[in-house]
Amino acid sequence: MGDSAALEDAAPGGAAAPRSPARSPARRTLLAGALAAAAVPRALGPAPSPHPATGLPALRACGASAWALDLRTGARLAHRPDVPRPLLSLHAGLVAAQLLRTGGPAVLRRHLRFSPDDLVDGSPVCCWHLSEGMSVGQLCDAALRRADATAANLLLGLVGGPRGFTRSCRELGDRTTRLDRWAPASSGGQPWEPRDVTSATALARGYGRVLVGTALPAPARPLLRSWLPTAPLPGGWCFTHAAATGWYGSAAVVGLAQRGARTVLVSALTRSGQPSTRGSARTARAAVASVLQLLEGG
């Protein structure tokens, strides 16, 4: 099977996803030298779909969808970027950004109390704070740094629940990402599930708008980044990212990979397809490492 055929993925209902026209390798990336300030709006706003990357055995092996933009050179790479994938708990970063955008830094000092009835599975931080509650800032840190599901639910409640979050995505131009349920149901990861989904393109552009775009005031962007964990990647890269996992071997990461003066906005969503298997963020980060290697011509 040729690379172009391998890039096809089944859409809901059994239909095959549209295939992009074939292009020469020389056109798979944009010419270097584009200013980062010009590259970000092109990628985060309406733009022609980037050419699907080919020859990606590492990405195919982990069932990955990926999208990346080098903010210094303008080079882009995508692999099955618009296939629907589970959102898992990655709405938490966008919810935190929405709170900063609408309430400013003062919202972080707001204190929330919660009861044992509010606790859900996967809450390693909130389970220790039942007696005194937590501030919004502490909940943001718990939801993003520790993937605390109760923290994510409490924050989600402040923006109108799943419907309010989805409405916010539409207001920012994202027509793909949707949230229908609260955690932990939203992290089921079922491949056939039409609810609680996103795509590699939508996820990267959504986080890009708040991390390096203009959806957040400049002083708030470093604060949002401070809640995201960092991890080293091969080749000397440092990846500041949000990560989430679900069943059916599903996992997703999105954020900024940095090395020296280079910054790459990248998302990767992986899936093994095994119903009883929890996905691994390490697998998704390995997919990001493959994407970065391909961007460098590897």
Cβ atoms of residues 150 and 120 within 8 Å:
yes
Three-state SS string across the chain, please? CCHHHHCCCECHHHCECCCCCCCCHHHCCCCCCCCHHHHHHHHHCCCCCCCECCCCHHHHHCCCEEEEEECCCCCEEEECCCCCEECCCCHHHHHHHHHHHHHCHHHHHCEECCCHHHCCCCCCCHHHCCCCCEEHHHHHHHHHHCCCHHHHHHHHHHCCHHHHHHHHHHHCCCCCCECCCCCCHHHCCCCCCCCCEECHHHHHHHHHHHHCCCCCCCCHHHHHHHCCCEEEECCCEEEEEEEEECCCCCEEEEEEEEECCEEEEEEEEECCCCCCCCCCHHHHHHHHHHHHHHHCCC
Cβ atoms of residues 228 and 147 within 8 Å:
no
Q: Does the annotation count 186 as an active-site position?
A: no
Q: Measuring CA to CA, which residue among 75, 94, 38 is closest to residue 252?
A: 94
In the set 20, 24, 89, 186, the catalytic residue is 89
CA dihedral angle for residue 77, residue 172, residue 253, residue 79, rounded to 10 degrees: -30
Catalytic residues: 89
